[in-house]
Structure 1
Amino acid sequence: MKPRIAVLGCGYWGSNHIRTLKSLDVLSAVSDANRPRAEGFASEQDCRVVDPEDLFDDKEIDAVVMALPPQFHADYAIQAIAAGKDLLVEKPIALTVEDAERAVQAARKAKRVYMVGHVLRFHPAFETLKSLIDAGELGEVRYIHSHRLGLGKFHTENDALWDLAPHDLSMILAITGAAPIEVRGEGAALLDHLSDFAHLHMLFENGLRSHLFASRLNPYRERRLTVVGTKAMAVFDDVEPWGRKLAVYRHAVWQDSGQWAFTTNEPTYVPVEEGMPLTRELEHFIDCIETRSEPRTTGEEAIEVLRILTAGTVSHY
């Protein structure tokens, strides 16, 4: 019997969860503080509407996907866990490390699934990139940089760093397998007191360095993760078509008579299975519910993402 899943929060990203869960035949109900909005989705997807205050005690719901403003995630998550529900919580899972820890610890104690919506971990191109790294195809990873730029999505609570960077931080942490030992942030606020541009610089214990640039006030769209290894470099570019999303560059650099020399090579485009990351993420969530297994994107990893965001935040008040 498939799990019965409700979506709490019918905003932009919640609506994507609603439609995808319906396509997977596991959508049980929708819920939102704005009941007319929830009723619209319920009518469209032929499911029930449940008010937020009644959602967690509903015996016909096994799990909840939370896509709320992040300041509400922790308290609602704790209520859901106390009622025996499994959870997928969208990023950021809280606005403070302390709130995130409360929710994740509650899930551990109650033995409930607590999965985090770091959706790009389920992108086929990233999965393929990770397998190349694990197989040693790039050699020792020495540097990672990511650019996530675009125009829009202005929030009253989240700046560019908190809204955009969690995607890339989750991928960087998956590659490094460790938290950074140093984090330095830079930001610029043009519209109000929230950063519209943000840079993060990270140093890891093994000497690996990483740089992240996020912007919500950029004239063009860029979604690029670059990994530099001792054998090769790889680029995951999500703006490119499927056949060019993952490129490996086998450039050569060496020292000759005290001078550095190099040769460049054309990229090799690695075949990637096409698939929607959100669909794959939710299929993984369903599998975790059914098998009681640990999610790929855990609450502990999300807490580490929050620690990095907190350390790199620049105040403009």
Structure 2
Amino acid sequence: MKPRIAVLGCGYWGSNHIRTLKALGALYAVSDANRARAEGFASEQECLAIDPDTLFTRPDVDAIVMALPPQYHAEAAIKAVENGKDVLVEKPIALNVPDAERAVAAAEANGRIFMVGHVLRFHPAFEKLKELIDQGELGEVKYIHSHRLGLGKFHTENDALWDLAPHDLSMILAITGSAPVEIRGEGAAILDHLSDFAHLHMRFPNGLRSHLFASRLNPYRERRLTVVGTKAMAVFDDVEPWERKLAVYRHAVWQDSGHWAFTTNEPTYIPVEDGMPLTRELEHFMTCMRTRQEPRTNGEEAITVLRILTAGAIGHG
């Protein structure tokens, strides 16, 4: 039996969830404060339109995917899990750590699945990159840097750091396996009081360092994660065509008579299984609902992401 999943929030990203769940045969209902918008999607996708005020107590709804403005996520998630619903909450799950902790604690207390929409963790290219790292193909990872740049997606509540960085932070945390011990952030507000650019510098317990650059006021798109190891370097570039999304560079660097020397090699493009990250994310959510296993992108990781965002926000102006 397919689970009966409702999508709360029929905006840009909510609409992607709606269409993907429909294709997976698990879309049961849609819900939005704008009743006409919800009814439009319900008619288009042949599902129910349920008012947000009654959605949480409906016994015929098994789970809720939440794609709301982030300031509403925590309270909605708490209400859902207290009424026996599993939840997938889009990032960021809250605008402060205490709200996130309350939501995650409520899910645990009620035995509910709490998954977070860090969708790039389910990108086949990242999954393959993680596999290469775990197999030791890159050697010991020493440095990770990510760039997520583009134009647009201006929000009234969250800045470039909070909107763009969670995906990259989730990937970085998956690679490092630990939270950073040192975080330094800086940003610049160009259009209004919210930062349009953000830099994060992190140091991890084993000495690994990481740098993140996010911008929503950039003339070109860049979606690149670079991992530097002692044996090789790898780049996950989501702007590249599918067959070039994951590249491994087997450059060599060594000391010769007290001087550094190096050789460069052409990249090896790693074959990557085809598949849409959002489809794979929602399939994982349904698997977790069925098996009651802990999601790959769980609440604890999301809280760590929020702690980093909060610490990195210092100095934004």
TM-score in terms of structure 2 length: 0.99
1:246 is matched with 246
Do 2:90 and 2:118's aligned partners in 1 also have CA atoms closer than 8 Å? yes
1:166 is matched with 166
Deviations along 1:168-208, one digit per CA (max 9) or x if unpaired, are 00000000000000000010110000000000000001100
User: Distance in 2 between the 1:27 and 1:259 partners?
Assistant: 62
2:296 is matched with 296
- Give how far 1:227 is off: 0.1
Which residues of 2 match residues 1-317 of structure 1 at below 5 A? Answer: 1-314=1-314
Change (3 A) 1:228 1:315: closer
- Give how far 1:110 is off: 1.0
- Give how far 1:315 is off: 5.6
- Give how far 1:249 is off: 0.3
Deviations along 1:99-125, one digit per CA (max 9) or x if unpaired, are 000000111111100000000000000
| Backbone CA RMSD of aligned residues | 0.7
Give 2:118's aligned amino acid. Answer: H
Give 2:71's aligned amino acid. Answer: Q
User: Distance in 1 between the 2:314 and 2:160 partners?
Assistant: 11
Q: Secondary structure at the match of 1:290?
A: helix
Deviations along 1:129-149, one digit per CA (max 9) or x if unpaired, are 000000000000000000000
- Give how far 1:2 is off: 1.1
User: Distance in 2 between the 1:315 and 1:36 partners?
Assistant: 42
User: Distance in 2 between the 1:81 and 1:247 partners?
Assistant: 41
Q: Secondary structure at the match of 1:226?
A: strand
User: Distance in 2 between the 1:241 and 1:135 partners?
Assistant: 25
User: Distance in 1 between the 2:244 and 2:74 partners?
Assistant: 39
- Give how far 1:316 is off: 5.3
- Give how far 1:314 is off: 3.8
Q: Secondary structure at the match of 2:199?
A: strand
- Give how far 1:266 is off: 0.3
Deviations along 1:232-273, one digit per CA (max 9) or x if unpaired, are 000000000011000000000000010000000000000001
- Give how far 1:291 is off: 1.0
User: Distance in 2 between the 1:134 and 1:223 partners?
Assistant: 23
User: Distance in 1 between the 2:97 and 2:299 partners?
Assistant: 11
Change (3 A) 1:188 1:26: same
User: Distance in 1 between the 2:235 and 2:27 partners?
Assistant: 36
Q: Secondary structure at the match of 1:311?
A: helix
Do 2:185 and 2:315's aligned partners in 1 also have CA atoms closer than 8 Å? no
Q: Secondary structure at the match of 1:133?
A: helix
User: Distance in 1 between the 2:138 and 2:315 partners?
Assistant: 38
User: Distance in 2 between the 1:52 and 1:119 partners?
Assistant: 25
Percent identity reads: 81
For structure 1, the 5+ residue unaligned runs are none
User: Distance in 1 between the 2:243 and 2:74 partners?
Assistant: 40
Do 2:31 and 2:51's aligned partners in 1 also have CA atoms closer than 8 Å? yes
Change (3 A) 1:309 1:129: same
User: Distance in 2 between the 1:145 and 1:81 partners?
Assistant: 36
User: Distance in 2 between the 1:263 and 1:69 partners?
Assistant: 49
User: Distance in 2 between the 1:273 and 1:238 partners?
Assistant: 14
Deviations along 1:65-121, one digit per CA (max 9) or x if unpaired, are 000011101111110011000000000000010000000011111110000000000
User: Distance in 2 between the 1:287 and 1:234 partners?
Assistant: 30
User: Distance in 1 between the 2:98 and 2:315 partners?
Assistant: 19
Give 2:259's aligned amino acid. Answer: Q
User: Distance in 1 between the 2:191 and 2:300 partners?
Assistant: 33
